[in-house]
Structure formats: structure tokens, C-alpha cells
Chains A and B, each alone.
Chain A
């Protein structure tokens, strides 16, 4: 199993550009989440999904969109990048009801200039 994979590892965007951060898992997990990590602030939940077709907002959803068309994939879209979105982004998955252990991907470091 590859576990949770994220692409790209690094990305530089100009203000106003759009892009999609990819996340995939091969463990047949129901739950998937996106977090951003900023210095001194821990991880903050952006969006999460409890199954294909079901998504919900976390603590900091503004400026980000998600969809979950398959169990395996959970892409995060930045519609119009802003410097405040400069961060490290982590995707995580967990099996689902009763099995809460989250497995994290290696992260994507995004810089918006």
C-alpha cells in the first residue's frame, strides 16, 4: 500500500492563480480531510469528507473548494490564490466509523507570491 499520497510536493503560485492539490489513498478509507499547517498554529482543518459525495467545512474553509467523487481521491482547489494561503497542506484519511486513526500524507508546501 502506498498509503496517502499528495502531489505536488512543492508549488509556487502568483496571486490570483488557481490550482488543485491532489490527494489519494489506497486503503479504502471512508474519511478524508485537508489541513493547513502554519508556524506556531498547529494544524487547522479546512474541509473533510465522510464518504463519496459528502463533504463538510472545517475551521478555515474560505478560499478552498473540495469534492469527493470517488472513495480514493479528495482534491483541494484554490480558486484564486492569496498570499495568506501560503502554508503546508496535509491530507489525511481514516477508516471510518469506530476506527478513528488518521494517516497523513507527506504534505504540499505552497507559496503564493
Chain B
């Protein structure tokens, strides 16, 4: 079955710097790759996603890149702010938005 790895497990950056989180997946049939932000005591919230027919997607300070050949995708956050501090999860869907497998998460701390 699908396996999703995520690195690093923790990341500390200074406010204003960039943060990059990387995920790899094993199933070449996976075709949808979302990123979620989870704040303490809350459910995950989608921040950006990418489908297998696209190589890069941007939304203001957040971007995601996908390399299907290498089976990895990355989250890029520029100009980080203290409110970006949270746990971030990547995921892969093996079947058109069904049957998601999540990475173990990255705890991002943005230091003022």
C-alpha cells in the first residue's frame, strides 16, 4: 500500500525566513496531494493542494511543488510569520480524493 514519509519532524525558523517541508510517497498511482495545517486542539485545515497533472501551485506566501518521477512533493512557506507556527501534514490520495494516507507531521515554530 501507500506509504508517505515527511521531513523534518520539527523545524524552527526566524520570522521572515522561508520554511520547506518535504514528503515522499510510494504509490505511483496516487494523484492528489494536499497539505494541512493543524493548530492545537483543532482539526486539520487544508492550506494548499496539487494534482498529479500539475508541477507547481502557489497561493500568496505558500507554494507546493510535485515531482512525479521522484515521487516527492514539497511545501514552501515564504516570509514566515508567528501565526504560521503549527503542525503541518502532507497526504496522498490513491484514488481520486478517497483513501488518504498522511505523513507523520512537521512541527513548525516561527521565532519572532
What residues make up the interface of A, taking CB atoms closer than 8 Å to B?
A: 4, 31, 33, 35, 40-45, 48, 50, 56, 58-59, 90, 92, 94, 96-107
State the majority secondary structure of interface residues on A.
Answer: strand
**Pairwise interchain contact A90-B101, C-beta atoms closer than 8 A:** no
Cβ A100 vs Cβ B104 within 8 A: no
**Contact-size category for B:** 20 to 34
A100 touches which of B44, B97, B103 (Cβ 8 Å)? B97
Cα–Cα distance between A112 and B103 once the two chains are bound (Å):
25
B89–A42 touching, CB < 8 Å: yes
Residues in A neighbouring B36, C-beta threshold 8 A: 104
Beyond A42-B105, A50-B98, A99-B97, 5 additional contacts (C-beta under 8 Å) are A43-B100, A56-B98, A97-B96, A100-B96, A106-B42
CB distance from B75 to the nearest CB of A (A): 15
In the complex, the answer to whether B102 meets A43 with C-beta atoms within 8 Å is yes
Q: In this assembly, does B20 line the interface, its C-beta being within 8 Å of a C-beta of chain A?
A: no
**Contact, CB under 8 Å: B44 / A104:** yes
B97 touches A31 (CB 8 A): yes
User: CB distance B100 to A33 under 8 Å?
Assistant: yes
Mark contacts of B32-63 with chain A using CB atoms, 8 A cut-off: 1 yes-contact digit, 0 otherwise: 10101000001111100100000000000000
